[in-house]
């Protein structure tokens, strides 16, 4: 079992920035694909970003240029830094892990473990 614990959500004004963190209990963290998804009220959960290793990062078009995903394998933590936030970025942000494989995938079903989510609210 892998536990993922997100933190860093909150209320921010439009145009502001936020950094989310996700701490993993996984022993194979460096070999795990890590990703962020989000779910806005009344909408399906959607892919935000994923990371295999530094330089192997992938983003949804909606956040490209405004988000940066990174990981610290020593701390077993993945980060999502978002800037120029818009009200439409308001959502619950979830961390996800595909354990033991480094593979580019934006499909929810390909991830094995999920965090409980952290709320991000962007006010206009």
Residue 6, pLDDT above cutoff 90: yes
Residue 2, pLDDT above cutoff 90: yes
Residue 114 in tokens: 């999920």
* pLDDT at residue 15, rounded to an integer: 97
Give the whole-angstrom CA distance, residue 72 versus residue 23: 10
Average confidence (pLDDT) over 37-66 = 95
Where does the pLDDT of residue 106 fall: very low under 50, low under 70, confident under 90, or very high at 90 and above? Answer: very high
Where does the pLDDT of residue 64 fall: very low under 50, low under 70, confident under 90, or very high at 90 and above? Answer: confident
Give me the chain's average pLDDT, please: 96
Alpha-carbon Rg for the chain, nearest whole angstrom, is: 13
């Amino acid at each position: 079992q892998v536990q993922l614990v997100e933190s860093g959500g909150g209320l921010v004004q439009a145009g502001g920035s936020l950094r989310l963190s996700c701490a993993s209990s996984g022993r194979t963290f460096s070999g795990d694909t890590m990703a962020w998804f989000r779910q806005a009220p009344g909408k399906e959960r959607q892919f935000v970003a994923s990371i295999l290793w530094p330089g192997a990062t992938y983003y949804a078009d909606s956040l490209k240029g405004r988000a940066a995903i990174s990981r610290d394998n020593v701390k077993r933590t993945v980060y999502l830094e978002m800037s120029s936030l818009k009200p439409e970025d308001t959502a619950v942000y979830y961390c996800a892990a595909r354990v033991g494989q480094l593979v580019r995938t934006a499909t929810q079903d390909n991830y094995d473990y999920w965090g409980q989510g952290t709320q991000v609210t962007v006010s206009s």
